[in-house]
Amino acid sequence: MTTTTDGTQRAQRAQGRLNSVFSAISAFLISPFLISAFSICAPSAAPQSKTKTYVQTLASERLEGRLAGSNGERLAAEFIAGELKRIGAQPLPGQRDYRLPFEFTAGTKDGGSRVMIGQETFSTETDVRALSFSDNGDVTGELVFAGYGIVVPGSQDFGYDSYATLDVKDKVVLVLRYFPEDAEQKTKAILARYADLRYKAMAARQRGAKAVLVVTGPRSPNAGETIPMSFDTALAGSGIVAASISGAVAKGIFDAIPGKTLQDAQQALDSANPHVAGFAIPNVTVTVHAMVQREKKTGNNVAAYLPSTTDVAGVAKPWIALGAHYDHLGHGEAGNTLAAKEDASKIHFGADDNASGSAAVLAAAATLATQPRHRNVLVAFWSGEELGLIGSGAFAAKPPIPLDAIAAYLNFDMVGRMQDNKLTIQATGTSPAWAKVIEQSNIAAGFDLLLQPDPYQPTDVATFNSSGVPSLTFFTGTHADYHKPSDTADKIDYEDLDRIVDFATAIAKRIGDLADAPQFTKVEQQTQPGAGRAGVRVFTGTIPDYSTEVKGLLLSGVIGGGPAEQAGLQKGDVIVEIAGQTIANIYDYTYALDVLKIGQPAKVVYIRNGQRRETTLTPAARK
């Protein structure tokens, strides 16, 4: 991050902002709340940043973190639409407005679920809580204990089926959360991939179960606790009634089984021996009432286009697209904040994630608007990215322009915190044309580029890759402020952000001038053992650096107060071994997490300033 300490430079930059205000007012097009972001200083001819005004506005307190469907998102959409109008961009063909609304589930909460075992009813959320994807309904049936409820597909050449010897048709299935605790590393890695709660619910439903209950066993992390309702953006349920129950409720069930306890049943299963089976629970009838209240909201993508300045008749794929998500986390209420408990409800300003990317798209569009264009330029701002790419997904599901008419898509996500001139470009494997285009464009830019072929990134580029559009996504790396209220506009490196804009604009210009559109190449997705969400149950507090190629796991930071910080690890350290597992890359590290035990110290070997060191890290449970 570049900072300015000289008072004269600060004054010059402030005056640059003043000049921008004067020019915008003279055009009668500036948003009213944008003017308040500026201060008036002494005159100066210092050049103004192309992006600073945009970032400061989008990451301002008034926009309250731009959570999809919120008033802050609405204000951000209004601002972006105003800027698109100012540069001369038009609503997409057939559209009257820049806004493209879509409906989504903004949150879920338990609406009063309960479980009755015999004559005893459990109804508090500490004892019963619907799973976020549950269908609403009432089910009564006999009970079957199906162990961990895991079914590994036969394609994995690993035989494990919790239902192999059980008849669960029209019954209520009780399963354990997570996966066998004492399994060998290889076995655990395979089982973890199929231990997601949705997958377990699906397996029960496919075998005819009427409902599924999940208990966190006494030998597992978060033992006996009901499962928090995760943020689930699905507009409908999973096709089965599903709820979590406490250890106390499970004890009430097992008390009806002579000579059996949940502790003993789990321990027998924890070796992952596929021959250890579940069992029917005779003489126990369960009634489950599940009620999930889904709050539906409307989000808004914002999109416009710059028409070509020449006739595009006969041009192969006459569109190019630039996009970024403009939503963020609001006050962290969606559950994806990484802030400490005392900061979790504060405004998450999202300056780098992703006011920086939105600013880059606006600035690039403003430049392209002044130049000859041989293809139409789609300028898009997605909402709902933080909730699972739902904005760009809605666009692709009902595209206002044919997706097969788009020659290329350029995505910008977190491009405001460059370090050491390093810029990562992901999804380069989606077209053989990218190598030459990037190399030619970088002659003037001079970045230290890291090219990553993989398009399966957790950002909107994945939507366009899945639609067969050659794509690139620009990224300057993670940092300790990621998904925290401390991701603020004063920490953005505007000089380098402006350079990224110039670089990406040059790439867009080259694509627009090509006679033949870039050819799309499908990149095979690499599935890594243990990389599923269910497998990463432990919390280490590390922030990996995805943009630097080193042998090991380079840390771009550590989460304050987390296990990594307590172990003395810090930014710049390279982890090369953990719990006896050699770490050569991020995938090795993810794999190794399956070996770690909550609360059990593990030796970590790392490199700092060229010296090999050791420490002990004690993982915590991820809630």
User: For the chain, which residues make up each domain, given as ranges?
Assistant: 1-48, 52-106+296-513, 112-290, 535-621
Provide the β-strand partners of residue 165: none
> Which residues, 6+ apart, have CB-to-CB distance to 342 below 8 Å?
none
**Span 112-290 CATH architecture:** 3-Layer(bba) Sandwich (3.50)
Average pLDDT, the chain: 87
DSSP state of 343: G
Please check the confidence at residue 235 and state whether its pLDDT lies above 70: no
- C-alpha angle 244/246/250, rounded to 5°? 100
Please check the confidence at residue 530 and state whether its pLDDT lies above 60: no
Please check the confidence at residue 95 and state whether its pLDDT lies above 70: yes
Structure tokens at 301: 């993508």
* 85 C-beta neighbours (distance < 10 Å), count: 14
**Span 535-621 CATH architecture:** Roll (2.30)
What radius of gyration do the chain's Cα atoms show? 27
Model pLDDT, residue 440: 96
Burial pattern 335-355, b for ≥16 Cβ within 10 A else e, equals eebbbeeebbeebbbbbbbbb
Please check the confidence at residue 1 and state whether its pLDDT lies above 50: no
> Which residues, 6+ apart, have CB-to-CB distance to 314 below 8 Å?
none
* Cα separation, 604 vs 577, whole angstroms: 6
* Cα separation, 227 vs 250, whole angstroms: 14
* Cα separation, 156 vs 159, whole angstroms: 8
Q: Tell how strand 319-325 and strand 376-382 pair up.
A: parallel
User: For residues 375 and 316, is the Cβ–Cβ distance under 8 A?
Assistant: no
pLDDT per residue as tens digits for the range 357-394: 999 999 999 999 999 999 999 999 999 999 889 999 99
Window from 42-51, 67-76, 77-86, 522-531 with minimum mean pLDDT: 522-531
- 491 against 344, higher pLDDT: 491
Structure tokens at 358: 């939105």
pLDDT band at 621 (very low <50, low <70, confident <90, very high): confident
Please check the confidence at residue 540 and state whether its pLDDT lies above 60: yes
Window from 68-77, 184-193, 387-396 with minimum mean pLDDT: 184-193
Mean pLDDT to the nearest integer, 180-188: 86
CA distance readout (Å), 7 to 13, 52, 357: 10, 18, 28
Please check the confidence at residue 41 and state whether its pLDDT lies above 70: no
**Percent share of the chain, pLDDT over 90:** 65
* Cα separation, 160 vs 154, whole angstroms: 9
Q: Provide CATH code, domain 52-106+296-513.
A: 3.40.630.10
In 143-282, which residue ranges form alpha helices assigned H by DSSP?
Answer: 185-192, 197-206, 247-254, 262-269
Window from 57-61, 360-364, 424-428, 452-456 with minimum mean pLDDT: 452-456
Structure tokens at 257: 């089984």
* 611 C-beta neighbours (distance < 10 Å), count: 7
Model pLDDT, residue 574: 95
Q: Which residue has the tokens 């055009």?
A: 27
Coil, strand, or helix at residue 411? strand
Mean pLDDT to the nearest integer, 479-501: 96
Model pLDDT, residue 543: 82
Amino acid at 614: E
pLDDT band at 47 (very low <50, low <70, confident <90, very high): low
- C-alpha angle 598/602/604, rounded to 5°? 135
Coil, strand, or helix at residue 78? helix
Please check the confidence at residue 21 and state whether its pLDDT lies above 80: no
pLDDT band at 16 (very low <50, low <70, confident <90, very high): very low
User: For residues 214 and 227, is the Cβ–Cβ distance under 8 A?
Assistant: yes
Please check the confidence at residue 314 and state whether its pLDDT lies above 60: yes
Structure tokens at 211: 């409902």
Please check the confidence at residue 542 and state whether its pLDDT lies above 80: yes
CA distance readout (Å), 367 to 30, 79, 297, 344, 506: 18, 18, 35, 38, 10
pLDDT band at 304 (very low <50, low <70, confident <90, very high): very high
Model pLDDT, residue 420: 94
Instruction: Write out the H or E segment, with its range, that includes residue 543.
Output: strand 542-544
Mean pLDDT to the nearest integer, 546-559: 78
Q: Which residue has the tokens 């597909």?
A: 153
User: For residues 606 and 574, is the Cβ–Cβ distance under 8 A?
Assistant: yes
Instruction: Write out the H or E segment, with its range, that includes residue 439.
Output: helix 434-445
Strand-by-strand arrangement of the 99-110 sheet: 99-110, 292-306, 376-382, 319-325, 406-412, 471-475, 422-426, 448-452
Coil, strand, or helix at residue 580? coil
Amino acid at 273: N
User: For residues 126 and 226, is the Cβ–Cβ distance under 8 A?
Assistant: yes
Half-sphere exposure of 184 (CA within 13 A, CB side): 4
Length of the chain: 623
* 450 C-beta neighbours (distance < 10 Å), count: 17
Coil, strand, or helix at residue 53? helix
| Separation of CA 500 from chain center | 23
Mean pLDDT to the nearest integer, 565-576: 94
First to last CA, the chain: 32
* Most confident stretch, 46-50, 375-379, 582-586: 375-379
